[in-house]
Structure 1
Amino acid sequence: MGATTESIVTGVDFVTVPTRDLERAVAFYGDVLGLTRSAYRPERNFAEFETGTVTLNVMDPVNMGIGAFANANNIALHVDDVAAARATLEERGVQFGGPTFDTGVCHMAFFADPDGNPLLLHHRYASRD
């Protein structure tokens, strides 16, 4: 069932990913995950990485003066093959929180960035119906 009110939201521009160590986070998102860095402003305490559908804004909230916070929700990173992507990340030192999960419509593999922000590799292989 859809909304009955006309939406004023037209998309998601970025998702904030807090860090306590910008350089470590930049290395993780750029070198380990292999995401394209589109902005890097260490003097402003942030960097941005492109996923193809949404920008990840990696920022140091304490040094920005807005206080510490952490993400509680997973960011699902789309991959074409969860097993292959997981194997690559494991070779790069990423530790996963258990085996790859098969929901019956998608595969998911859960892990975290160096700050503990929850991430997962995701691939839908069947229709939502």
Structure 2
Amino acid sequence: MDLVQVAQRVEDLERAAAFYADLLGAAPTATYDPPGLAFFDLGGVRLLLDRVAPSALIYLRVDDIDATVARLRRAGVEIETEPHVIFSHADDTLGPAGTDEWQAFVRDPEGNTVGLVQHRPGA
């Protein structure tokens, strides 16, 4: 079984699509308005922005969490939680062994929380 799609609630489709296009560095793969849907490809998993979906907490892997948070802050994005270590991976169960998992949380323009994740070599 594979994950196919994650839906995220939005009220202003254009505003939300612009935010996610900037965050992900890619334009939507498809937009249908009406009824108010935009799709992004996240490595084979679709992120669906949908006016009638419930809010979801999504986590996105980033290459440089500090640079990403700084860029979003400059763009006026609300930073909920600064980058910090969540835990260290002793084995490969939840991430690469020998790495620390860093996370930060931001708010999209629709009020949804988005987690950012980076794995860094352990201290």
When normalised by structure 1's length, the TM-score is 0.74
User: Match of 2:120?
Assistant: 125
Of 101, 106, 127, the match for 2:84: 101
Count of equivalent residues: 110
One-letter amino acid matched to 1:24: R
Counterpart in the other structure of 1:38: 29
Distance 2:5 2:61 in 1: 15
Contact 2:29 2:40 (8 Å CA) reproduced: yes
Q: Deviations over 1:86-126 (max 9, x none)?
A: 11111222121132121232111101211121101101225
In the alignment, structure 1 residue 19 sits paired with structure 2 residue 10 = yes
Does residue 55 of structure 2 align to residue 70 of structure 1? yes
Give the CA RMSD over aligned residues.
Answer: 2.0
Aligned-pair distance for 1:21?
A: 1.3
1:82 equivalenced with 2:65 (yes/no): yes
Matched-pair identity in %: 33
Distance 2:43 2:28 in 1: 12
CA contact (8 A) 1:113 1:119 kept: yes
- 5+ residue gaps, structure 1, are 1-9, 62-67
Query: How far, CA to CA, are the matches of 1:32 and 1:125 in structure 2?
Result: 20
Structure 1 runs, 4 residues or longer, greater than 6 Å off: none
Q: Deviations over 1:52-80 (max 9, x none)?
A: 2522100111xxxxxx7333xx2111011
TM-score, normalised with respect to structure 2: 0.78
The separation in 2 between residues aligned to 1:18 and 1:69, in whole angstroms, is 5
Name the larger-Rg structure. Answer: 1
